[in-house]
Protein backbone atom coordinates (compact mmCIF):
# COMPACT_ATOMS: atom_id res chain seq x y z
CA UNK A 1 0.00 0.00 0.00
CA UNK A 2 2.92 2.29 0.71
CA UNK A 3 4.08 1.97 -2.90
CA UNK A 4 0.58 2.75 -4.07
CA UNK A 5 0.31 5.92 -1.95
CA UNK A 6 3.72 7.03 -3.13
CA UNK A 7 2.80 6.39 -6.73
CA UNK A 8 -0.40 8.40 -6.38
CA UNK A 9 1.32 11.31 -4.67
CA UNK A 10 3.95 11.55 -7.38
CA UNK A 11 1.19 11.65 -9.92
CA UNK A 12 -0.70 14.41 -8.16
CA UNK A 13 2.36 16.53 -7.57
CA UNK A 14 2.94 16.56 -11.30
CA UNK A 15 -0.53 17.97 -11.75
CA UNK A 16 -0.23 21.68 -12.44
CA UNK A 17 -3.88 22.38 -11.69
CA UNK A 18 -3.39 20.94 -8.23
CA UNK A 19 -0.41 23.15 -7.45
CA UNK A 20 -2.13 26.21 -8.82
CA UNK A 21 -5.40 25.70 -7.00
CA UNK A 22 -4.23 24.31 -3.70
CA UNK A 23 -0.77 25.73 -3.06
CA UNK A 24 -0.28 28.94 -5.03
CA UNK A 25 -3.85 30.23 -4.54
CA UNK A 26 -4.01 30.10 -0.73
CA UNK A 27 -0.44 31.36 -0.32
CA UNK A 28 -1.09 34.13 -2.82
CA UNK A 29 -4.39 35.12 -1.21
CA UNK A 30 -2.67 35.25 2.13
CA UNK A 31 0.12 37.44 0.79
CA UNK A 32 -2.35 39.80 -0.86
CA UNK A 33 -5.02 40.16 1.84
CA UNK A 34 -3.90 38.38 4.96
CA UNK A 35 -0.66 39.74 6.23
CA UNK A 36 -1.70 43.36 6.57
CA UNK A 37 -4.54 42.94 9.04
CA UNK A 38 -5.74 40.01 11.12
CA UNK A 39 -2.71 38.00 10.28
CA UNK A 40 -3.52 34.95 12.40
CA UNK A 41 -7.15 34.35 11.37
CA UNK A 42 -6.20 34.91 7.75
CA UNK A 43 -3.51 32.28 8.07
CA UNK A 44 -5.98 29.83 9.61
CA UNK A 45 -8.55 30.54 6.91
CA UNK A 46 -6.07 29.93 4.12
CA UNK A 47 -4.70 26.82 5.83
CA UNK A 48 -8.26 25.51 6.03
CA UNK A 49 -8.65 26.39 2.34
CA UNK A 50 -5.59 24.24 1.58
CA UNK A 51 -6.72 21.42 3.87
CA UNK A 52 -10.28 21.28 2.58
CA UNK A 53 -9.24 21.62 -1.06
CA UNK A 54 -6.35 19.20 -0.73
CA UNK A 55 -8.58 16.61 0.86
CA UNK A 56 -11.47 17.09 -1.55
CA UNK A 57 -9.53 17.36 -4.79
CA UNK A 58 -6.39 15.49 -3.74
CA UNK A 59 -8.21 12.22 -3.16
CA UNK A 60 -11.13 12.57 -5.52
CA UNK A 61 -9.55 14.48 -8.39
CA UNK A 62 -7.87 11.58 -10.12
CA UNK A 63 -10.38 8.86 -9.26
CA UNK A 64 -13.06 9.94 -11.69
CA UNK A 65 -10.56 10.02 -14.53
CA UNK A 66 -9.04 6.70 -13.47
CA UNK A 67 -12.48 5.16 -13.57
CA UNK A 68 -13.09 6.54 -17.03
CA UNK A 69 -9.75 5.43 -18.41
CA UNK A 70 -9.95 1.94 -16.94
CA UNK A 71 -6.97 2.29 -14.62
CA UNK A 72 -9.17 1.36 -11.65
CA UNK A 73 -10.13 -1.89 -13.36
CA UNK A 74 -6.52 -2.59 -14.19
CA UNK A 75 -5.61 -2.11 -10.52
CA UNK A 76 -8.39 -4.42 -9.44
CA UNK A 77 -6.74 -7.35 -11.20
CA UNK A 78 -3.51 -6.81 -9.27
CA UNK A 79 -3.03 -7.99 -5.68
CA UNK A 80 -3.84 -4.47 -4.41
CA UNK A 81 -6.84 -5.17 -2.17
CA UNK A 82 -9.90 -2.93 -2.45
CA UNK A 83 -9.57 -1.91 1.19
CA UNK A 84 -5.96 -0.90 0.60
CA UNK A 85 -6.92 1.11 -2.42
CA UNK A 86 -9.55 2.98 -0.45
CA UNK A 87 -7.22 3.57 2.50
CA UNK A 88 -4.45 4.62 0.15
CA UNK A 89 -6.64 7.20 -1.53
CA UNK A 90 -7.73 8.63 1.83
CA UNK A 91 -4.16 8.79 3.13
CA UNK A 92 -3.12 10.40 -0.14
CA UNK A 93 -5.87 13.00 0.17
CA UNK A 94 -4.77 13.84 3.68
CA UNK A 95 -1.11 14.11 2.73
CA UNK A 96 -1.94 16.27 -0.25
CA UNK A 97 -2.88 19.11 2.11
CA UNK A 98 0.67 19.42 3.42
CA UNK A 99 2.27 21.59 0.71
CA UNK A 100 -0.55 24.13 0.83
CA UNK A 101 -0.84 24.25 4.61
CA UNK A 102 2.92 24.44 5.06
CA UNK A 103 3.17 27.15 2.41
CA UNK A 104 0.51 29.30 4.05
CA UNK A 105 2.06 28.92 7.53
CA UNK A 106 5.50 29.70 6.19
CA UNK A 107 4.20 32.83 4.47
CA UNK A 108 2.44 33.86 7.68
CA UNK A 109 5.57 33.45 9.78
CA UNK A 110 7.97 35.09 7.36
CA UNK A 111 5.84 37.94 6.00
CA UNK A 112 2.88 38.30 8.39
CA UNK A 113 4.82 38.23 11.66
CA UNK A 114 2.67 35.41 13.05
CA UNK A 115 4.07 33.89 16.23
CA UNK A 116 2.42 30.90 17.91
CA UNK A 117 3.55 28.54 20.65
CA UNK A 118 4.75 25.04 19.79
CA UNK A 119 1.58 23.57 21.29
CA UNK A 120 -0.59 25.78 19.10
CA UNK A 121 1.31 24.83 15.92
CA UNK A 122 1.03 21.14 16.83
CA UNK A 123 -2.66 21.54 17.61
CA UNK A 124 -3.29 23.28 14.31
CA UNK A 125 -1.37 20.67 12.35
CA UNK A 126 -3.27 17.82 14.00
CA UNK A 127 -6.60 19.60 13.49
CA UNK A 128 -5.98 20.24 9.81
CA UNK A 129 -4.73 16.72 9.08
CA UNK A 130 -7.67 15.08 10.83
CA UNK A 131 -10.03 17.78 9.62
CA UNK A 132 -9.15 16.99 6.00
CA UNK A 133 -10.54 13.47 6.43
CA UNK A 134 -14.20 14.36 5.82
CA UNK A 135 -13.13 16.29 2.73
CA UNK A 136 -11.07 13.40 1.40
CA UNK A 137 -14.02 11.04 1.88
CA UNK A 138 -16.39 13.53 0.31
CA UNK A 139 -14.03 13.87 -2.65
CA UNK A 140 -13.96 10.09 -3.11
CA UNK A 141 -17.74 9.85 -2.93
CA UNK A 142 -18.15 12.51 -5.58
CA UNK A 143 -15.52 10.96 -7.82
CA UNK A 144 -17.28 7.61 -7.57
CA UNK A 145 -20.58 9.26 -8.50
CA UNK A 146 -19.63 11.57 -11.35
CA UNK A 147 -17.57 10.70 -14.40
CA UNK A 148 -14.47 12.17 -16.00
CA UNK A 149 -14.33 15.93 -16.47
CA UNK A 150 -17.75 16.41 -14.87
CA UNK A 151 -16.31 15.09 -11.65
CA UNK A 152 -13.30 17.40 -11.81
CA UNK A 153 -15.48 20.43 -12.37
CA UNK A 154 -17.97 19.24 -9.77
CA UNK A 155 -15.24 18.91 -7.16
CA UNK A 156 -13.93 22.41 -7.82
CA UNK A 157 -17.43 23.93 -7.74
CA UNK A 158 -18.30 22.17 -4.51
CA UNK A 159 -14.99 23.15 -3.00
CA UNK A 160 -15.49 26.84 -3.74
CA UNK A 161 -19.11 26.68 -2.59
CA UNK A 162 -18.06 25.15 0.72
CA UNK A 163 -15.19 27.63 1.05
CA UNK A 164 -17.40 30.65 0.38
CA UNK A 165 -20.33 29.49 2.52
CA UNK A 166 -17.96 28.50 5.29
CA UNK A 167 -16.48 31.99 5.36
CA UNK A 168 -12.97 30.98 4.35
CA UNK A 169 -12.99 33.10 1.25
CA UNK A 170 -15.07 36.26 0.99
CA UNK A 171 -16.71 38.05 3.89
CA UNK A 172 -18.49 35.03 5.31
CA UNK A 173 -21.60 37.10 5.88
CA UNK A 174 -24.51 35.13 4.48
CA UNK A 175 -28.12 36.08 3.89
CA UNK A 176 -31.04 34.42 5.73
CA UNK A 177 -31.31 30.68 5.38
CA UNK A 178 -27.67 30.24 4.43
CA UNK A 179 -26.58 31.80 7.70
CA UNK A 180 -28.51 29.20 9.66
CA UNK A 181 -26.87 26.27 7.84
CA UNK A 182 -23.40 27.79 8.08
CA UNK A 183 -22.51 26.20 11.44
CA UNK A 184 -23.21 22.78 9.94
CA UNK A 185 -20.69 23.16 7.13
CA UNK A 186 -17.39 21.32 7.51
CA UNK A 187 -15.38 24.27 6.22
CA UNK A 188 -16.95 26.61 8.76
CA UNK A 189 -16.47 24.14 11.62
CA UNK A 190 -12.86 23.47 10.70
CA UNK A 191 -12.09 27.18 10.45
CA UNK A 192 -13.74 27.95 13.79
CA UNK A 193 -11.78 25.16 15.49
CA UNK A 194 -8.63 26.54 13.87
CA UNK A 195 -9.31 30.09 15.11
CA UNK A 196 -9.88 28.71 18.62
CA UNK A 197 -6.62 26.76 18.67
CA UNK A 198 -4.63 29.67 17.23
CA UNK A 199 -6.27 31.93 19.80
CA UNK A 200 -4.96 29.73 22.56
CA UNK A 201 -8.14 27.96 23.68
CA UNK A 202 -9.57 24.58 22.76
CA UNK A 203 -12.05 24.13 19.91
CA UNK A 204 -15.76 23.85 20.61
CA UNK A 205 -17.13 20.32 20.89
CA UNK A 206 -20.09 21.16 18.67
CA UNK A 207 -17.81 22.12 15.78
CA UNK A 208 -15.80 18.92 16.12
CA UNK A 209 -19.04 16.95 16.23
CA UNK A 210 -20.08 18.51 12.92
CA UNK A 211 -16.75 17.47 11.36
CA UNK A 212 -17.08 13.94 12.74
CA UNK A 213 -20.62 13.75 11.40
CA UNK A 214 -19.49 14.75 7.93
CA UNK A 215 -16.66 12.23 8.10
CA UNK A 216 -19.02 9.41 9.07
CA UNK A 217 -21.61 10.28 6.44
CA UNK A 218 -18.98 10.64 3.71
CA UNK A 219 -17.27 7.38 4.77
CA UNK A 220 -20.57 5.53 4.57
CA UNK A 221 -21.37 6.90 1.13
CA UNK A 222 -17.81 6.27 -0.16
CA UNK A 223 -18.05 2.68 1.03
CA UNK A 224 -21.45 2.09 -0.56
CA UNK A 225 -20.34 3.70 -3.83
CA UNK A 226 -17.10 1.74 -3.89
CA UNK A 227 -18.99 -1.51 -3.36
CA UNK A 228 -21.21 -0.61 -6.27
CA UNK A 229 -18.19 0.26 -8.40
CA UNK A 230 -16.44 -2.98 -7.48
CA UNK A 231 -19.49 -5.07 -8.28
CA UNK A 232 -20.18 -3.22 -11.48
CA UNK A 233 -18.90 -4.36 -14.80
CA UNK B 1 -3.43 -32.75 -12.28
CA UNK B 2 -6.11 -30.21 -11.50
CA UNK B 3 -7.41 -27.83 -14.12
CA UNK B 4 -5.99 -24.30 -14.13
CA UNK B 5 -9.47 -23.01 -14.79
CA UNK B 6 -12.76 -24.77 -14.26
CA UNK B 7 -15.74 -22.91 -15.51
CA UNK B 8 -18.76 -25.03 -14.68
CA UNK B 9 -22.38 -24.40 -15.67
CA UNK B 10 -21.91 -20.64 -15.44
CA UNK B 11 -24.67 -18.18 -16.25
CA UNK B 12 -24.42 -14.41 -16.04
CA UNK B 13 -26.89 -11.70 -17.02
CA UNK B 14 -26.50 -7.96 -17.14
CA UNK B 15 -29.95 -6.55 -16.78
CA UNK B 16 -32.03 -8.31 -19.41
CA UNK B 17 -29.03 -9.35 -21.48
CA UNK B 18 -27.97 -12.92 -20.87
CA UNK B 19 -24.22 -12.66 -21.44
CA UNK B 20 -23.45 -16.30 -20.63
CA UNK B 21 -25.93 -19.14 -20.55
CA UNK B 22 -24.90 -22.34 -18.79
CA UNK B 23 -21.33 -22.30 -20.07
CA UNK B 24 -18.86 -25.00 -19.13
CA UNK B 25 -15.21 -25.28 -20.12
CA UNK B 26 -11.88 -26.16 -18.59
CA UNK B 27 -8.31 -25.13 -19.07
CA UNK B 28 -5.65 -27.75 -18.42
CA UNK B 29 -2.31 -26.87 -16.80
CA UNK B 30 0.13 -25.26 -19.18
CA UNK B 31 -2.44 -24.97 -21.91
CA UNK B 32 -2.95 -21.83 -23.96
CA UNK B 33 -6.59 -21.43 -24.81
CA UNK B 34 -8.36 -18.98 -27.08
CA UNK B 35 -11.89 -17.82 -26.39
CA UNK B 36 -13.02 -17.05 -29.88
CA UNK B 37 -16.18 -15.37 -30.95
CA UNK B 38 -17.76 -12.28 -32.46
CA UNK B 39 -18.49 -9.18 -30.37
CA UNK B 40 -21.19 -9.85 -27.81
CA UNK B 41 -20.44 -13.56 -27.70
CA UNK B 42 -19.66 -13.41 -23.97
CA UNK B 43 -15.86 -13.51 -24.12
CA UNK B 44 -15.21 -10.46 -21.97
CA UNK B 45 -17.85 -11.54 -19.49
CA UNK B 46 -16.11 -14.90 -19.17
CA UNK B 47 -12.74 -13.19 -18.62
CA UNK B 48 -14.24 -10.81 -16.03
CA UNK B 49 -15.72 -13.76 -14.17
CA UNK B 50 -12.43 -15.66 -14.20
CA UNK B 51 -10.77 -12.58 -12.68
CA UNK B 52 -13.41 -12.10 -9.99
CA UNK B 53 -14.46 -8.73 -11.42
CA UNK B 54 -18.01 -10.01 -11.53
CA UNK B 55 -19.85 -12.84 -9.82
CA UNK B 56 -21.73 -15.50 -11.75
CA UNK B 57 -25.51 -15.70 -11.27
CA UNK B 58 -25.20 -19.48 -11.31
CA UNK B 59 -22.44 -22.03 -11.63
CA UNK B 60 -18.96 -22.32 -10.22
CA UNK B 61 -15.57 -20.99 -11.24
CA UNK B 62 -12.19 -21.92 -9.85
CA UNK B 63 -8.86 -20.51 -10.98
CA UNK B 64 -5.63 -22.26 -9.96
CA UNK B 65 -7.67 -24.33 -7.51
CA UNK B 66 -9.21 -21.40 -5.68
CA UNK B 67 -11.84 -18.68 -6.07
CA UNK B 68 -11.00 -16.16 -8.81
CA UNK B 69 -10.69 -13.15 -6.50
CA UNK B 70 -8.33 -15.14 -4.26
CA UNK B 71 -6.08 -16.12 -7.13
CA UNK B 72 -5.94 -12.42 -8.06
CA UNK B 73 -5.27 -11.31 -4.47
CA UNK B 74 -2.46 -13.84 -4.17
CA UNK B 75 -0.88 -12.35 -7.26
CA UNK B 76 -0.94 -15.67 -9.09
CA UNK B 77 -2.66 -14.37 -12.21
CA UNK B 78 -1.85 -11.49 -14.50
CA UNK B 79 -4.37 -9.82 -16.74
CA UNK B 80 -4.78 -7.40 -19.59
CA UNK B 81 -8.35 -6.19 -19.73
CA UNK B 82 -9.99 -4.82 -22.81
CA UNK B 83 -11.39 -1.96 -20.78
CA UNK B 84 -8.21 -1.51 -18.75
CA UNK B 85 -6.28 1.72 -19.07
CA UNK B 86 -3.29 3.64 -17.78
CA UNK B 87 -3.13 6.79 -15.68
CA UNK B 88 -2.38 9.71 -17.99
CA UNK B 89 -0.01 11.62 -15.75
CA UNK B 90 2.41 8.81 -14.82
CA UNK B 91 5.46 7.61 -16.66
CA UNK B 92 5.86 4.08 -18.00
CA UNK B 93 8.53 3.34 -15.41
CA UNK B 94 6.30 4.54 -12.55
CA UNK B 95 3.40 2.35 -13.62
CA UNK B 96 5.58 -0.72 -14.10
CA UNK B 97 7.43 -0.10 -10.83
CA UNK B 98 4.09 0.09 -9.03
CA UNK B 99 3.06 -3.22 -10.58
CA UNK B 100 6.37 -4.84 -9.62
CA UNK B 101 5.88 -3.69 -6.01
CA UNK B 102 2.21 -4.71 -5.85
CA UNK B 103 3.28 -8.22 -6.82
CA UNK B 104 5.93 -8.23 -4.12
CA UNK B 105 9.01 -7.70 -6.29
CA UNK B 106 9.05 -11.11 -7.97
CA UNK B 107 10.72 -9.57 -11.00
CA UNK B 108 12.99 -6.56 -11.23
CA UNK B 109 11.79 -3.39 -12.92
CA UNK B 110 14.51 -3.71 -15.55
CA UNK B 111 13.49 -7.29 -16.34
CA UNK B 112 9.85 -6.40 -16.80
CA UNK B 113 10.66 -3.40 -19.00
CA UNK B 114 12.92 -5.61 -21.08
CA UNK B 115 10.30 -8.36 -21.32
CA UNK B 116 7.72 -5.95 -22.72
CA UNK B 117 10.26 -4.11 -24.89
CA UNK B 118 9.73 -0.88 -22.96
CA UNK B 119 13.27 -0.06 -21.88
CA UNK B 120 13.50 2.81 -24.33
CA UNK B 121 10.12 4.19 -23.29
CA UNK B 122 10.60 4.09 -19.51
CA UNK B 123 10.57 7.86 -19.07
CA UNK B 124 7.64 8.48 -21.42
CA UNK B 125 4.33 9.64 -19.98
CA UNK B 126 1.47 7.23 -20.52
CA UNK B 127 -0.67 9.75 -22.39
CA UNK B 128 2.10 10.12 -24.98
CA UNK B 129 2.08 6.44 -25.98
CA UNK B 130 0.70 4.91 -29.16
CA UNK B 131 -1.99 2.25 -28.87
CA UNK B 132 0.50 -0.54 -29.31
CA UNK B 133 2.94 0.94 -26.81
CA UNK B 134 0.21 1.42 -24.20
CA UNK B 135 -0.76 -2.17 -24.73
CA UNK B 136 2.82 -3.24 -24.02
CA UNK B 137 2.74 -1.31 -20.75
CA UNK B 138 -0.40 -3.18 -19.78
CA UNK B 139 1.30 -6.40 -20.76
CA UNK B 140 4.22 -5.45 -18.50
CA UNK B 141 1.79 -4.85 -15.63
CA UNK B 142 0.23 -8.26 -16.27
CA UNK B 143 3.62 -10.02 -16.30
CA UNK B 144 5.17 -8.11 -13.40
CA UNK B 145 4.31 -10.78 -10.84
CA UNK B 146 5.57 -13.81 -12.80
CA UNK B 147 1.98 -15.08 -13.00
CA UNK B 148 1.09 -18.76 -13.20
CA UNK B 149 -1.72 -17.87 -15.55
CA UNK B 150 -2.21 -14.95 -17.88
CA UNK B 151 -5.56 -13.57 -19.04
CA UNK B 152 -5.62 -11.41 -22.14
CA UNK B 153 -8.87 -9.84 -23.31
CA UNK B 154 -8.58 -8.77 -26.96
CA UNK B 155 -4.91 -7.96 -26.39
CA UNK B 156 -3.97 -6.80 -29.87
CA UNK B 157 -7.06 -4.87 -30.80
CA UNK B 158 -5.27 -1.51 -31.22
CA UNK B 159 -2.18 -2.91 -32.94
CA UNK B 160 -0.94 -3.08 -36.49
CA UNK B 161 0.24 -6.38 -37.94
CA UNK B 162 3.86 -5.79 -36.99
CA UNK B 163 3.06 -4.95 -33.36
CA UNK B 164 0.75 -7.92 -33.13
CA UNK B 165 3.51 -10.27 -34.16
CA UNK B 166 5.95 -8.66 -31.71
CA UNK B 167 3.36 -8.78 -28.95
CA UNK B 168 2.75 -12.49 -29.37
CA UNK B 169 6.48 -13.15 -29.50
CA UNK B 170 6.73 -11.46 -26.09
CA UNK B 171 3.83 -13.53 -24.70
CA UNK B 172 5.53 -16.68 -25.95
CA UNK B 173 8.84 -15.60 -24.47
CA UNK B 174 7.10 -15.09 -21.12
CA UNK B 175 6.24 -18.79 -21.23
CA UNK B 176 3.06 -18.43 -19.15
CA UNK B 177 -0.06 -20.48 -19.72
CA UNK B 178 -2.54 -18.07 -21.26
CA UNK B 179 -6.25 -17.71 -21.70
CA UNK B 180 -7.03 -15.09 -24.30
CA UNK B 181 -10.18 -13.72 -25.82
CA UNK B 182 -10.05 -12.64 -29.41
CA UNK B 183 -12.12 -12.11 -32.48
CA UNK B 184 -9.00 -12.25 -34.65
CA UNK B 185 -9.33 -15.73 -36.00
CA UNK B 186 -5.79 -16.07 -37.26
CA UNK B 187 -4.62 -15.18 -33.77
CA UNK B 188 -6.50 -18.07 -32.19
CA UNK B 189 -5.25 -20.32 -34.96
CA UNK B 190 -1.61 -19.28 -34.56
CA UNK B 191 -1.21 -19.07 -30.80
CA UNK B 192 -3.74 -21.31 -29.08
CA UNK B 193 -3.36 -24.99 -28.25
CA UNK B 194 -7.11 -25.16 -28.06
CA UNK B 195 -9.97 -22.97 -29.18
CA UNK B 196 -13.26 -22.50 -27.39
CA UNK B 197 -15.78 -20.90 -29.69
CA UNK B 198 -18.40 -18.76 -27.98
CA UNK B 199 -21.50 -17.53 -29.74
CA UNK B 200 -24.49 -15.81 -28.19
CA UNK B 201 -23.34 -16.61 -24.66
CA UNK B 202 -22.87 -20.35 -25.20
CA UNK B 203 -20.00 -22.66 -26.11
CA UNK B 204 -20.52 -23.46 -29.77
CA UNK B 205 -17.48 -25.66 -30.29
CA UNK B 206 -14.21 -26.59 -28.69
CA UNK B 207 -11.10 -28.28 -30.01
CA UNK B 208 -7.73 -27.70 -31.60
CA UNK B 209 -7.66 -24.97 -34.25
CA UNK B 210 -7.54 -27.61 -36.98
CA UNK B 211 -10.47 -29.52 -35.48
CA UNK B 212 -12.53 -26.37 -35.39
CA UNK B 213 -11.83 -25.78 -39.06
CA UNK B 214 -12.70 -29.37 -39.93
CA UNK B 215 -15.97 -29.15 -38.00
CA UNK B 216 -17.03 -26.26 -40.13
CA UNK B 217 -16.48 -27.78 -43.51
CA UNK B 218 -12.77 -28.40 -43.42
CA UNK B 219 -10.45 -27.82 -46.33
CA UNK B 220 -10.59 -27.08 -49.97
CA UNK B 221 -8.57 -29.11 -52.49
CA UNK B 222 -8.09 -27.49 -55.88
CA UNK B 223 -6.32 -28.99 -58.91
CA UNK B 224 -6.30 -29.28 -62.69
CA UNK B 225 -7.46 -32.47 -64.39
CA UNK B 226 -8.22 -33.30 -68.01
CA UNK B 227 -11.82 -34.51 -68.44
CA UNK B 228 -12.81 -34.80 -64.77
CA UNK B 229 -15.52 -37.28 -63.78
CA UNK B 230 -17.67 -35.62 -61.12
CA UNK B 231 -19.29 -38.82 -59.82
CA UNK B 232 -15.96 -40.55 -59.33
CA UNK B 233 -14.49 -37.54 -57.55
CA UNK B 234 -17.49 -37.32 -55.21
CA UNK B 235 -17.02 -40.98 -54.29
CA UNK B 236 -13.52 -40.35 -52.95
CA UNK B 237 -13.16 -40.66 -49.16
CA UNK B 238 -13.66 -37.41 -47.22
CA UNK B 239 -15.07 -35.46 -50.15
CA UNK B 240 -18.31 -33.61 -49.45
CA UNK B 241 -18.70 -31.50 -52.56
CA UNK B 242 -17.29 -31.22 -56.07
CA UNK B 243 -17.34 -28.34 -58.47
CA UNK B 244 -15.80 -28.27 -61.92
CA UNK B 245 -14.97 -25.24 -64.05
CA UNK B 246 -13.36 -26.31 -67.31
CA UNK B 247 -10.33 -28.33 -66.25
CA UNK B 248 -10.18 -26.88 -62.74
CA UNK B 249 -11.70 -29.00 -60.00
CA UNK B 250 -12.53 -27.85 -56.48
CA UNK B 251 -13.25 -30.43 -53.78
CA UNK B 252 -14.69 -29.56 -50.38
CA UNK B 253 -13.47 -32.09 -47.87
CA UNK B 254 -13.62 -32.90 -44.19
CA UNK B 255 -10.47 -35.00 -44.42
CA UNK B 256 -8.03 -33.52 -46.92
CA UNK B 257 -5.27 -36.06 -46.23
CA UNK B 258 -7.37 -39.08 -47.15
CA UNK B 259 -8.99 -37.33 -50.09
CA UNK B 260 -5.67 -36.31 -51.60
CA UNK B 261 -4.13 -39.76 -51.07
CA UNK B 262 -7.10 -41.40 -52.77
CA UNK B 263 -7.03 -38.84 -55.55
CA UNK B 264 -3.43 -39.65 -56.46
CA UNK B 265 -3.82 -43.42 -56.14
CA UNK B 266 -7.11 -43.90 -58.00
CA UNK B 267 -7.23 -41.01 -60.49
CA UNK B 268 -4.23 -40.24 -62.68
CA UNK B 269 -3.19 -36.98 -64.32
CA UNK B 270 -3.73 -34.59 -61.38
CA UNK B 271 -1.72 -31.35 -61.73
CA UNK B 272 -1.21 -28.12 -59.78
CA UNK B 273 -2.80 -29.46 -56.59
CA UNK B 274 -3.44 -26.96 -53.80
CA UNK B 275 -4.91 -27.54 -50.33
CA UNK B 276 -6.19 -24.58 -48.36
CA UNK B 277 -7.91 -24.30 -45.01
CA UNK B 278 -11.40 -22.94 -44.97
CA UNK B 279 -9.94 -20.47 -42.47
CA UNK B 280 -11.19 -19.94 -38.97
CA UNK B 281 -13.05 -16.89 -40.20
CA UNK B 282 -15.40 -19.02 -42.28
CA UNK B 283 -15.41 -21.71 -39.63
CA UNK B 284 -16.48 -19.23 -36.99
CA UNK B 285 -19.19 -17.74 -39.13
CA UNK B 286 -20.64 -21.16 -39.82
CA UNK B 287 -20.42 -22.33 -36.24
CA UNK B 288 -21.95 -19.26 -34.66
CA UNK B 289 -24.66 -18.83 -37.26
CA UNK B 290 -25.63 -22.49 -36.92
CA UNK B 291 -26.16 -21.81 -33.22
CA UNK B 292 -28.78 -19.14 -33.80
pLDDT tens profile A19-29: 788 889 999 98
pLDDT at B292: 45
Percentage of chain A lying above the pLDDT 90 cut: 36
pLDDT at B287: 63
pLDDT at B93: 95
CATH for B5-207 is 3.40.50.300
Taking all residues of chain A, what is their mean pLDDT, rounded to a whole number? 87
Is B112 near chain A, with CB under 8 Å? no
Which helix H or strand E contains A13, and what residues bound it? helix A2-13
| Residue B62 burial (CB count, 10 A) | 19
ipTM, interface predicted TM-score of the complex: 0.80
| Residue A159 burial (CB count, 10 A) | 25
Residues A105-132 have a mean pLDDT of: 91
Contacts 24+ apart (CB under 8 A), A212-217: A214/A134, A214/A138, A214/A186, A215/A133, A215/A134, A215/A137
Chain A positions contacting chain B at CB under 8 Å are 3-4, 7, 10-11, 14-15, 62, 65-66, 69-71, 73-74, 76-81, 231, 233
Closest by Cβ to B102, choosing from A10, A11, A78: A78
pLDDT at B48: 92
pLDDT tens-digit series, residues A27-74: 998 888 877 767 888 999 999 999 999 888 888 877 888 888 888 888
pLDDT in tens, chain B (292 residues): 578 999 999 999 988 889 999 999 999 988 999 999 888 889 999 999 999 988 999 999 999 999 999 999 999 999 998 878 898 889 999 999 999 999 999 999 999 999 998 999 999 999 899 888 898 999 999 999 999 999 999 998 878 888 888 889 888 887 888 999 998 777 888 899 999 988 888 888 888 888 776 665 567 788 998 888 888 888 888 887 787 888 888 887 878 888 888 888 888 788 888 887 765 556 666 666 654 4
* Cβ contact A3–B98 (<8 Å): yes
pLDDT at A233 over 50: no
- Residue from A82, A62, A75, A215 nearest A151 by CA: A62
Are B17 and B57 in contact, with CB atoms under 8 Å apart? no
pLDDT at A14: 79
pLDDT at A223: 84
CA A146-B126-B159 angle, 5° bins: 100
| Residue B197 C-alpha, separation from nearest chain A C-alpha, in angstroms | 22
pLDDT at B209: 84
Are A121 and A43 in contact, with CB atoms under 8 Å apart? no
pLDDT at A81 over 80: no
CATH class of segment(s) B217-291:
alpha beta
pLDDT at B23: 94
Delimiting residues of CATH 3.40.50.300 domain(s) in chain B: 5-207
* Cβ contact B84–A70 (<8 Å): yes
Delimiting residues of CATH 3.30.70 domain(s) in chain B: 217-291
pLDDT at A186 over 50: yes
pLDDT at A108 over 70: yes
pLDDT at B82: 82
**Count, residues in chain B:** 292
pLDDT tens-digit series, residues A147-180: 778 888 899 899 999 998 888 887 667 777 888 8
Task: Output the pTM of the full model.
Answer: 0.78
Tell me the β-bridge partners of B78: B150
Contacting residues of A for B87, CB less than 8 Å apart: 11, 62, 65-66, 69, 71
Amino acid sequence: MFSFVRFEIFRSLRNVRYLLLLVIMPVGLYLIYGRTSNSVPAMVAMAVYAAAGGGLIGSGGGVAEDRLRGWLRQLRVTPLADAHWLTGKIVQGMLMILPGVAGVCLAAVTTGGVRLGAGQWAGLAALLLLGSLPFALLGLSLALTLKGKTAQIGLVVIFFALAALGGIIGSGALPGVLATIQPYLPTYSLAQAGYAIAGGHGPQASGLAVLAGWALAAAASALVLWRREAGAR
Amino acid sequence: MKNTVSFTAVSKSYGRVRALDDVTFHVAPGETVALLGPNGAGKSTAVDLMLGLARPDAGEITVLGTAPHRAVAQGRVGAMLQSGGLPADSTVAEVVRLAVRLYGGRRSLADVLELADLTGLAGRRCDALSGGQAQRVRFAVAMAGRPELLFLDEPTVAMDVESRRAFWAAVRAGGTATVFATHYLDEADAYADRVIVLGGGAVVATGSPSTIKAMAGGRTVRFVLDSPDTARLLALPGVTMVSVHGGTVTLMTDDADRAVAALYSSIGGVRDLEVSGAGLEEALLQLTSAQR
